[in-house]
Structure 1
Amino acid sequence: MAVDSITKTLGSGSGIDLKALVTSLVDAQYAAKTKQFTTKSDTLTAQISGVAKLKSAITGFDSALKSLVKSGSLATQPTSSNAAVLGASLIAGATAPTAATTLTVDRIAQAQAATSRIVVPGETFRGGTLDVTTGSDTKVTKSITVPQGATLADVAALIKKETGFSTALVADGDGTRLTVKSATGASQAFEIAATDTDGTAAGTGLSVFATGDAGLKIGTVAQDAQVTVDGARYTRASNSINNLVPGVKLDLTGTGTTTIAATRPTAALSQAVSDFVATYNELQAVLKEATNATTGVLRSDAAATGIARALSTLTTTKLTGAGTVQTLADIGVATNRDGTLSVDTARLTRTLAGDPAAVEALFADGTGASGGGLSAAMSSIATRLTDKTFGLDAATTRYTRQQSDLATAKAKLADATAATTERMTRQFASMDSRVAAYKSTQTFLTNQIAAWNKSDS
């Protein structure tokens, strides 16, 4: 470029380092604006980072609390006094019964299973029809067409496809057996009749798949589970039952008598309160650092400062709709002067002993900002504080836009700096050339005068 060429010879006439002089003058002219941009850039970077850190703390707190509540570990759980008879669990969204229930499992539900003779490798079967009849009181028959030359695997696949039964090929000695198994319950009992050209269990006829001593031998018989509750007998097709004891899912494992009772998670609730307070205080520490009146990068951010106000109401927000225990303050959680929380352990212990159900209700999996439990209240706050209109997401958008505007301003400043450098370089180059001309004239005159003086002498 022309300016580069000028710069290389700049100062040759005057003897002054005009290149350094131009750089110093340009730097001095734009120093204040450059410093302002650098400071603004550092501030915006810190603000975006601060918003991200604060948002992560809030959403992390909300997610952890939500997961804890939804896990069911803070809700009263049903228990079985005899795990060898059945297991008991709370149905999602249900409330465990407070009264104990004694029940007897007279028999468990069974699937029907039948197994074929050993089929040697490479053996195929003649075509024909398998008629599968299912049911106990009401019977339904389905016909399955088996093609000529079908293998054992082919027959297994056809039975599974047409009936929904499970089939398995089990290696046994020099060959393989076919096992057919239905779902549990008396209505899943089945019989298979075969129609083929062979008509016997020997050879390659389909009668090998007919139920009976000569074909598929029944190992277990389909039956319903039978359970006696309060003297009344009930039958169910499955060993997984959710409509005998209100709110409780029963998984039958054997016969015998057991009692279903409720166990309150007193220790878990106490720990949950302590963990909530500790996590809340960690969030407060992040918030306090970000909004510190002197050093906080978000001290002037409305969304960040609004978080403190929103969180300060959490201990007095009604988390349940009724009763004497409706807020965190009612169980001994208090707000300290610095905004952190503390737990009155003695009061919490007394409340858990006197009204554990009320404390449990505070951690219920509800909805809404008030009356839906602590998790719902925290979620409501988190949603408000991180929204895209007035919350932290809006702040991130604003700061990012300001960064973009700053980048544009920096680009304009760079252009202005380059233009000023070019202008000054040309001006000083012109001056330098004139000085060089003056010096040349001076040298000529000096030499001329010296010559005159020499000739006179």
Structure 2
Amino acid sequence: MTTVSSTTSSTTSSTTATSTTSKSTSSTSTSATANATKTAAQALFTSLQTGSGVDLSTLVPSLIEAQFAAKTAALKAKADTLSAQISDISSIRSSITDFASALASLAQGGTLATQATSSDPSSLSVTTAAGAKLAGMSKSISINALATAQVSSTKSSFSSTASLGTGSLSIKVGSNDAVSITIDSSDSTPSALAAKINAANTGVKASVITDSGGNAYLSFTGATGKDNSFTITATEGDTAGLSRLNVGNNASGTTTNSTAANASITMDGVTVERASNTITDLIPNVSMTLSAVTSKPIALTGTSPSSALSTVVTNFVSTFNDNMNALNKAIDPINGDLRSDPAARALAQKMRTLTTTKLVPGDSSTAGPKTLADLGVKTEKDGTLSVDSVRLSKALAQYPDIVEKMFQASGDNVMGLSAQMNSVQMSATSSVYGLTASYNNLSKQQSDNSDAQSKLSDTRQTASDAMTQRFAAMNSRVSAYKSVQSFMDQQVKMWTKSN
């Protein structure tokens, strides 16, 4: 029932607005008619004073203008009003949508949530992903060992253009099945053989290191972690030499410079190992990068984004005021294009109550701010907002976790500011009760007005054609009468002269 009522109200509002505007332009239409009538009368008087009959090029347009001036002016005034209303609705609707979307993106981005902070970022750096719940977090972390990768290289160098041999190389990484790579004469130079190994994606990367004499060493590197150690076993083909690339199993042609090992850290007294120096599975939505072994524990804490929250409140108020000023202008009771539109007025009322809307759960007995007003954001008489910076700073200092919750994404806090702005956006975009309903109704009126103007133009042309025909006939008769009058005048003068 409410939906139907809202739709009906929206339709009625546009009609009311148009009616009000039509009344305000009635004096203009009357003036236009009076001016057109005066012009037509003057044209007729002038025409009848000439000696060649009626001047149709002046008289007919003047009379037609006098006949249709009122209707033309009324339709044009209505068209101008509808265009202004549609323009205002489009602008306000777009601006509110952009505002709500920007706030939602900011809330989802994670910069308004508590960030993980390391006391020794040179040894342990951290990044916080969106959605992290880190309020009150305090961890003690010691880095006992870094994850390392196995690195093996040839003991001897080779000519960069010579063949290293043909056959196959079997590469086995950890407990994975061995992968066999065929090496023929076209793949046997150091750079070509390295490329062939890399293309196989076995988990071992080969590279060529050139010494000062231009000769090449081959280096083989695996992934970090003890389970990623590897062996390379050659099977000689027609051209011997691949066995020089064997790795592991007492190979004599290569040396292992670094072994594969896990990273080891102790967090809150519990020691764990990971294959990588980037650890993402210990604290949800927090990525830790290990850079150095530590001699003392590192403090990992959650730091409230007080500065970011203070800035976003200020920016929110500024953007809100821009939107509210535009809306106030549109619904101004005297000059506003949308002054009689209930959807626009409902949107303004909803925005006016935003500062007193509860943004976090809890009743009055629960300590801490619950609304924007509690943060020092005040609604002025015209609906715009102002910020008490002292009160805002105090709230951020005393209740950082609660303030942070107010600005969480709508999925995390269905009462938060982002969710409330989504509701405001719905009032602006709904095709049932919002500005879109008004937009659709006004667009229909605009189309009807355009049709009416087109029909009036056709009617005007028809009347002009008919009037031209009538005056043309009259013009012919007037010319004949004047010819007779001229002849009679000459005869009288002749008679008078002869006497």
Q: TM-score range by the shorter chain?
A: 0.7 to 0.9
Aligned to 2:274: 236
Aligned to 2:391: 347
Residue pairs, 1:223-302, within 5 angstroms: 223-245=261-283, 248-256=286-294, 257-302=297-342
Aligned to 2:180: 143
Residue in structure 2 matching 1:400, options 418, 434, 443: 443
Return the alpha-carbon distance in structure 2 between the equivalents of residues 172 and 402 of structure 1: 83
**CA deviation after TM superposition for structure 1 residue 264, in Å:** 1.8
Return the alpha-carbon distance in structure 1 between the equivalents of residues 218 and 90 of structure 2: 61
8 Å Cα contact 1:321-1:371 kept in structure 2: no
**CA deviation after TM superposition for structure 1 residue 122, in Å:** 4.9
SS at match of 1:431: helix
Aligned to 2:105: 67
Partner amino acid, structure 1, of 2:429: T
Partner amino acid, structure 2, of 1:409: A
Q: Does 1:28 align with 2:71?
A: no
8 Å Cα contact 2:280-2:287 kept in structure 1: yes
Return the alpha-carbon distance in structure 2 between the equivalents of residues 417 and 125 of structure 1: 97
Residues 165 and 408 of structure 1, relative CA distance in 2, 3 Å threshold: farther
Residue in structure 1 matching 2:173, options 112, 117, 134: 134
8 Å Cα contact 1:367-1:373 kept in structure 2: no
Residues 433 and 249 of structure 1, relative CA distance in 2, 3 Å threshold: same
8 Å Cα contact 2:117-2:302 kept in structure 1: yes
Residues 286 and 319 of structure 1, relative CA distance in 2, 3 Å threshold: same
Return the alpha-carbon distance in structure 1 between the equivalents of residues 437 and 209 of structure 2: 63
SS at match of 2:355: coil
Residue pairs, 1:347-366, within 5 angstroms: 347-366=391-410
SS at match of 2:354: coil
Return the alpha-carbon distance in structure 1 between the equivalents of residues 414 and 283 of structure 2: 28
8 Å Cα contact 1:388-1:394 kept in structure 2: yes
SS at match of 1:382: helix
**CA deviation after TM superposition for structure 1 residue 308, in Å:** 1.1
**CA deviation after TM superposition for structure 1 residue 285, in Å:** 0.9
**CA deviation after TM superposition for structure 1 residue 427, in Å:** 0.9
**CA deviation after TM superposition for structure 1 residue 221, in Å:** 2.8
CA RMSD of aligned residues (A): 3.1
Partner amino acid, structure 2, of 1:210: N
1:153-185 Cα offsets, whole Å, 9 max, x none, are 553343233315445556655366555433322
**CA deviation after TM superposition for structure 1 residue 93, in Å:** 1.4
Moved more, 386-395 or 166-175: 166-175
Residue in structure 2 matching 1:318, options 345, 352, 358: 358
Return the alpha-carbon distance in structure 2 between the equivalents of residues 216 and 13 of structure 1: 122
Return the alpha-carbon distance in structure 1 between the equivalents of residues 381 and 232 of structure 2: 79
Residues 217 and 349 of structure 1, relative CA distance in 2, 3 Å threshold: same
Return the alpha-carbon distance in structure 1 between the equivalents of residues 331 and 253 of structure 2: 81
Return the alpha-carbon distance in structure 2 between the equivalents of residues 351 and 450 of structure 1: 110
What fraction of aligned residue pairs are identical, expressed as a percent? 39
Aligned to 1:304: 344
Aligned to 2:53: 15
8 Å Cα contact 1:127-1:149 kept in structure 2: no
Aligned to 2:197: 159
SS at match of 1:74: coil
Residues 52 and 453 of structure 1, relative CA distance in 2, 3 Å threshold: closer
8 Å Cα contact 1:13-1:435 kept in structure 2: no
SS at match of 1:89: strand
Residue in structure 2 matching 1:329, options 373, 380, 388: 373
Aligned to 2:223: 183
**CA deviation after TM superposition for structure 1 residue 326, in Å:** 2.3
**CA deviation after TM superposition for structure 1 residue 450, in Å:** 7.3
Return the alpha-carbon distance in structure 2 between the equivalents of residues 388 and 209 of structure 1: 72
**CA deviation after TM superposition for structure 1 residue 442, in Å:** 4.2
Residues 373 and 168 of structure 1, relative CA distance in 2, 3 Å threshold: farther
Residues 448 and 411 of structure 1, relative CA distance in 2, 3 Å threshold: same
Residues 436 and 99 of structure 1, relative CA distance in 2, 3 Å threshold: closer
**CA deviation after TM superposition for structure 1 residue 318, in Å:** 2.2
Aligned to 1:57: 95
Q: How many residues in Structure 1 have an aligned counterpart in Structure 2? A: 440
Residue pairs, 1:421-436, within 5 angstroms: 421-436=464-479
TM-score, normalization by structure 2 = 0.78
Residues 134 and 341 of structure 1, relative CA distance in 2, 3 Å threshold: same
Partner amino acid, structure 1, of 2:357: T
Higher helix share: 2
**CA deviation after TM superposition for structure 1 residue 67, in Å:** 3.0
Residue in structure 2 matching 1:110, options 142, 148, 159: 148
Structure 2: gaps spanning 5 or more residues: 1-46
Partner amino acid, structure 2, of 1:22: V
Aligned to 2:382: 338
Moved more, 441-450 or 390-399: 441-450
8 Å Cα contact 2:152-2:254 kept in structure 1: yes
1:200-228 Cα offsets, whole Å, 9 max, x none, are 5xxxx433543377656544332211112
